[in-house]
Amino acid sequence: MKLKNGAEYIDSLRDIKPVIYYKGEKINDVTRHPATAPHVRAAAMTYALASDKEYRDLAVATSHLTGRTISRFTHVHQNIEDLIKKVKLLRVLGQKTGTCFQRCVGLDGINAVYSVAYEIDRKKGTDYFDRFKDWLTYIQDKNLMVVGAMTDPKGDRSKSPADQPDPDQYVHVTERRDDGIIIRGAKLHMTGGVNSHEILIMPTVAMEEPSRDYAVVCSVPVDAPGVTMIFGRQASDDRRDKRERIDSGKPAFGAVGGEAVIAFEDVFVPQDRIFMNGEAEFTGSLVYRFAAHHRANYGACKTGLMDVLIGAVSYLTLIQGTAKASHVRDKVTEMIHLCETLYSSSIACSAEGWATVSGAYMVDTMLANVCKQNVTRFHFEVARLAVDLAGGFLATLPSQYDLESEDVGHLVKKYFSGVEGVPTEHRMKISRLIEAMTGGTALVESMHGAGSPQAQRIMILREGELDKKIKLAKALLGIPVKKK
């Protein structure tokens, strides 16, 4: 059955039995556990928009493999229009959830593996591309959620995967058999892992021949034997555990993406789910393309989050009576400026997209890295301005229990009130939303998701074409330019 809406997606998660732990205890149902349920609901929004007439054109696409209508989160980009529609969809989803909706990594992995598998087959005579298309057709027809698993623990970062004292610090093949392979290792920071259906495993760094056992791309179901997940702690997660509707900040959709450790302990992968198996020379292209797609996304989803944050702080200034002050208006204007500048980066790298030999479209990699570099600065500056405008009570506000207390509730209502006629609870709730969006894991993910800031700077310099720029300067000055 194809999953058609959010409710069906949530129901589908109850039919699978992944092994998941949180704070030392096993989670039996991610759709009901207070730590994971908000993230399930955020991901469900990606299904819900496909049924919404207003957003359907953005949320669905036509499969180039089957001609059938599919989720855009399972689509291989076929042109620039696809890339731009994806950007617009991500911004809307950021606005609707105020958090991470978790399907981007799988989408970016699908697009990177598609083009690289094609190129491996052309050079090596393998059949990875056909295998991948068969698997992708299955994913599209069922409308399954895929977690893109790329980030390895890395162990001693001064050593290559093959030189690690502990070989499991990178996912690797321990045994090759006629019917498949056995893998070991782990992936960290896996957004949406606990509420996905499938895991798409990819290498995290460019590798050379000695590390060929680590050059593996494959897929396994989340409940495959040997797969164990550990759900990560998040800012204010105990507030959600106690179901404090005010203190949780974003009780419906969670604080960020719901990240998990995914460990693979002698997991069997059948041949038809293996899409790279030792072709180390292609790992660089795969990582490069995945990173560019993923970094391009941040200028869209994070813009949607900024829209919510700007709206939240603007509402707070209204109910605090400061909205008309010139310095407040100036700071809100700066927040909007940074937000739209970031969005323009995401649109630009999509508009400058290009076709790989497989036919799948890539974003402009230079502009994608510039986009993500902007995220590491602009989102933090918007958050700083939001905290500035909100005021110090953001850090000292009493809890929901104090608000509802028979003994002190009247004091909280009296002394945390704002403009007359606005309930104190509204001011408290909006402040908790701002707190959740400006502290803890949300901004850490903006900084380090899709690679730390230095990773983008390396790529920006590499893509900067300094030789061409030097020639431009020489030509302007009449200095002879040597021809190669």
Tokens representing residue 250 in the block? 């974003």
Average pLDDT over residues 330-355: 94
Least confident of 82-96, 138-152, 318-332: 318-332
**Catalytic positions, written as ranges:** 100, 104, 191, 259, 294, 298, 301, 445
The number of beta carbons lying within 10 Å of the beta carbon of residue 464 is 11
Where, residue-wise, is CATH 2.40.110.10 in the chain?
6-282
Q: What integer pLDDT is reported at residue 245 of this predicted model? A: 61
- Name the band, by pLDDT with cuts 50, 70 and 90, for residue 434: confident
Domain with CATH 1.20.140.10 in the chain: 286-472
More confident residue, 333 or 3: 333
User: For 36-58, what is each residue's pLDDT tens digit?
Assistant: 998 999 999 999 999 999 999 99
- pLDDT at residue 337 above 80? yes
Give 447's pLDDT tier (boundaries 50, 70, 90): very low
Average pLDDT value for residue range 8-29? 95
For domain 286-472, give its CATH number from 3.40.50.150, 1.20.140.10, 3.40.718.10, 2.40.30.200: 1.20.140.10
Q: In the predicted model, is pLDDT for residue 244 greater than 60? A: no
Residue 127 clears pLDDT 70, i.e. is over it: yes
Q: What percent of the chain has pLDDT over 90?
A: 68
First-to-last CA distance in the chain?
Answer: 60
Q: What span, in angstroms and rounded, lies between the C-alpha atoms of 355 and 111? A: 12
Q: What is the pLDDT of residue 251?
A: 56
φ, ψ (nearest 5 deg) of residue 349: -70, -25
CATH class held by domain 6-282: mainly beta
pLDDT digits (tens, 9 = 90+) for 271-312: 999 999 999 999 999 999 999 999 899 889 999 999 999 999
**Alpha carbon distances (Å) from 384 to 328, 331, 391, 434:** 13, 10, 11, 11
Average pLDDT over residues 464-477: 70
Q: What is the pLDDT of residue 257?
A: 65
